[in-house]
Amino acid sequence: MDMALGILQCIKKIKNNLQNKQKEKIMAKRFIDTKMWDKPWYRKLDVTSKLIWVYILTKCDHAGILDGDWEAASFFIGSNIHSYEDLPEAIRKKLVRLENEQFFIPSFIEYQYGVLRTNSKPHLSVIKRLEEKGLLNYLDGVIGTLKEKEKEKEKDIEKRKDKFINNVNIAIKEKKYKNEETNRFVEFWTEKNNSGTKMRFELEKTFEIPRRLATWVRNNREWKINKKGNNERRKMQLTTS
């Protein structure tokens, strides 16, 4: 019993260590916008204020939440900052004040992660952190962006399907194929992949509709002829027997 308990505690310890390492990995590196130097609000800041903004971006946690430790900030930056009010107005506008002298940077999430996805483990950690801090309104907006993008993808694939069908109809009209020969051609080649992002014809390296359609119709006709021949041979066998 004691051995089993010891094993469980050991497993729990290993799991916690792995989770901590994962968090450290998330926090170890940050994307930074190299174009911020071109933005008027940042360009107008003095040297110390520019450094304050870089400090905030690199010292906040993986969810863009900063502990307002102004004593530490003063030490690292080399300039006295006694409180949030000492920050330049342009920077204060970029922060959302929370309880317990903590601050949230809304632009941080969008730039670091783009859209937060609930099927991503690193993103789930961010979502949980935002929920803990009562930032559900912002969270709903971020996840809502994902839904909107999915809808856009659906619209986009439908547009591509309509274009494909239109091109098939042009080829049918030119070659005077019968609808019964070509209906399944469209059904077959517009079938979506598992992720619903591409159709079967889009997965081919090359796809020239007139050639593919001609091959489809020829194979379809040959199949019908073979089927008819097999039926006739079967009838003959029955009559001779």
Count of domains in the chain? 2
Say if residue 111 is in the same domain as residue 193.
Answer: no
Whether 10 shows a pLDDT value over 60: the answer reads: no
pLDDT digits (tens, 9 = 90+) for 177-233: 877 767 788 999 999 988 788 899 999 999 999 999 999 988 887 776 565 545 444
Does residue 14 belong to any structural domain of this protein?
Answer: no
Could you tell me if 80 and 33 lie in one domain?
yes
Looking at the domain assignment, is residue 229 inside a domain?
yes
Q: Domain boundary at 99, 134, 169, which?
A: 134
State the pTM of this model.
0.49
38 and 84 part of one domain: yes
What percentage of the chain reaches a pLDDT higher than 70?
Answer: 73
166 and 222 assigned to the same domain: yes
Rounded Cα gap, residues 117 and 126, in angstroms: 10
Q: Is residue 24 part of a domain?
A: no
Residue with tokens 């008819």: 228
Q: How many CB atoms lie within 10 A of CB 49?
A: 16
> For 199, which DSSP code?
B
Give the domain extent around 40.
29-134
Is residue 114 domain-shared with residue 38, that is, in the same domain?
A: yes
7 part of a folded domain = no
Distance CA 161, CA 190 (A): 7
